[in-house]
Copies of this chain bind each other. A is one copy, B any other.
Amino acid sequence: MTEMPFLMLDDRNDSGAPLYRQIYEAFRGAILSGKLAAGTRLPASRVLAEQLSVARLTVVNAYEQLLAEGYTEGKTGAGTFVASKLPDDLLQIAPPAKNAEIPLQPPAAPRISKFARRVRETRGELARYQNSLDVVPFKNGMTAVGEFPFGVWEKLAARVYRRARYRIAGYGATAGYRPLREAVAAHFAASRGVRCRTEQIFITNGAQQALDLIARVLLDAGDRVRIEDPCYQEARAVFEATGAEIVPVPVDAEGFDPDAAQTDGESARLVYVTPSHQYPTGVTMTLARRLRLLEWARRTGAWIVEDDYNSEFRYTGRPLASLQNLDHGGRVLYVGTFSKTIFPALRLGCLIVPENLIDVFTAARSLADWHSPVFDQATLAEFIAEGHFARHLRKMRALYEKRQHFLVAEAEKELSGLVKLTKASSGMHLIGWLAPGLDAAKIALKARETGLHLSPLSSYCIAAKLPEGLIFGYTGFDEKQIREGVAKLKKVLESGE
């Protein structure tokens, strides 16, 4: 019989692989590397079993697997042979000796698409950073997860699993679970004055997917996109990834300026705005500008994306109606999210599109990932329908306002003369304006070393030149965390830049 020096069984079985698998792997490796030539006869299973001190069935199993995968050929009564059909020139690729060993990867830069090159360039850093999931003061967009009524949510989820499981466990509707779409329509009609039929509503995997779908469906490389300057970075990244030409439009005390978009002589395919509470400046777009923007879009055929990301958190006065409410030309795509009002891990948001875009968004969404998980959608539908959502929002509004006031008070007490924070009537963050001579980017970097997360206002700017400021998210942190965060920042500021 042929010598089989490659057959070294792992007695201690460190690899965790069953014995038959080890035998199979050893033969396979030997065949692929050419150690066992085509036509070589394998030892009889009984003989090999004795030699290896294993049960004969173990060897038989390994041989069957080799046969099934085409590594060997069996001639009835004549034994098992290495397959003759294996192309010789392929057998030189040495496979790794062990299953656990990681194949070497080519060092060359991989060939990727233009989209991917843009994404890697504009987003590589961001994505890596976002994978650091620490929730530290004053990271923006965090919610008070400890205050979420998980008890209620769990009960509703369990009820959905029990009652609806066989009915909804299959594939669902692309645009979303119908009862949730209806609940969302009612909610946004009441709270945001959104006017739409249920058919216009898509349930998405958070606002991010809504923005991505919008960019894919409405933009080609080279199209002009007007965005606010400063701008929400995630939205900017999505539009940049399409290869569109990004045209920053200044934001002043009245919000996005549609006249700037009209007077420079060139049109745009799409405009991205956050009219309720401009991100990150917090400015509310005035009615006059809203009307002018809508009229401009109607005249030029441009699309308007209204990102209504945190309009639910208004602490004083009534929330302003959405821009979508004023749109009678079918130009506005309304983006909402439940990441800030339920919890981020849920990954549910919504997109409301004009009538004549329903079909194409349905097609694009089904291509992207069919639909959002149905049980989560059903649980959220119940949560809204039974009034828990409204109750939670009320509670969070009060809590977040309190946290905001606490942050302002702490900053007044501890950071006076260094950072100026002013109360705001809505939102989840404040801008801390720095005293002359302080550099926000440098401070943010130093603060990060001490376990604080502060973004410089400049990181949201494209062409805009704004005074030095830092973004303080406050909603995700209790008074103790805020106090400690402010104290840490004080040390950073006092240690000099």
Which residues of A are at the interface with B, using a C-beta cutoff of 8 A?
32, 61, 64-65, 68-71, 83, 85-87, 89-90, 93-96, 99, 101-116, 119-120, 123-124, 126-128, 130-131, 133, 135, 142-143, 145-146, 148, 150, 153-154, 157-158, 161-162, 165-166, 168-175, 189, 193, 195-197, 204-206, 208-209, 212, 216-220, 237-238, 241-242, 269, 286-288, 291-292, 294-295, 301, 303, 317-318, 320-321, 326-330, 339, 343-348, 354-357, 359-360, 362-364, 366-376, 476
Contact = CB atoms under 8 A, between A and B. Distances in A.
A206 to B, nearest CB: 6
Contact of A90 (B71, B119, B291, B344): B291
A368 B367 CA distance: 13
Copies of this chain in the oligomer: 2
A330 to B, nearest CB: 4
Given A68-B320, A345-B170, A127 B362 contact: yes
A216 B241 CA distance: 11
Contact of A133 (B83, B116, B173): B173
Contacts of A103: 195, 327-328, 330
9 tightest Cβ-Cβ pairs between the two chains A and B: A70-B287, A345-B374, A209-B369, A205-B369, A105-B355, A169-B343, A145-B169, A105-B330, A90-B291
Contacts of A327: 103
A113 B369 contact: no
A366 B87 contact: no
A332 to B, nearest CB: 10
B354 A373 contact: no
Nearest to A295: B90
A111 B171 CA distance: 30
A27 to B, nearest CB: 13
A234 to B, nearest CB: 8
A217 B90 CA distance: 29
A295 B317 CA distance: 68
A191 B439 CA distance: 55
A168 B328 CA distance: 42
Contacts of A295: 89-90, 93
A321 B112 CA distance: 28
A174 B131 contact: yes
B368 A212 contact: yes
Contacts of A346: 373, 375
Contacts of A124: 359-360, 363
Contact of A99 (B193, B197, B367): B193
A140 to B, nearest CB: 12
Contacts of A196: 102
Contacts of A135: 170
A457 to B, nearest CB: 22
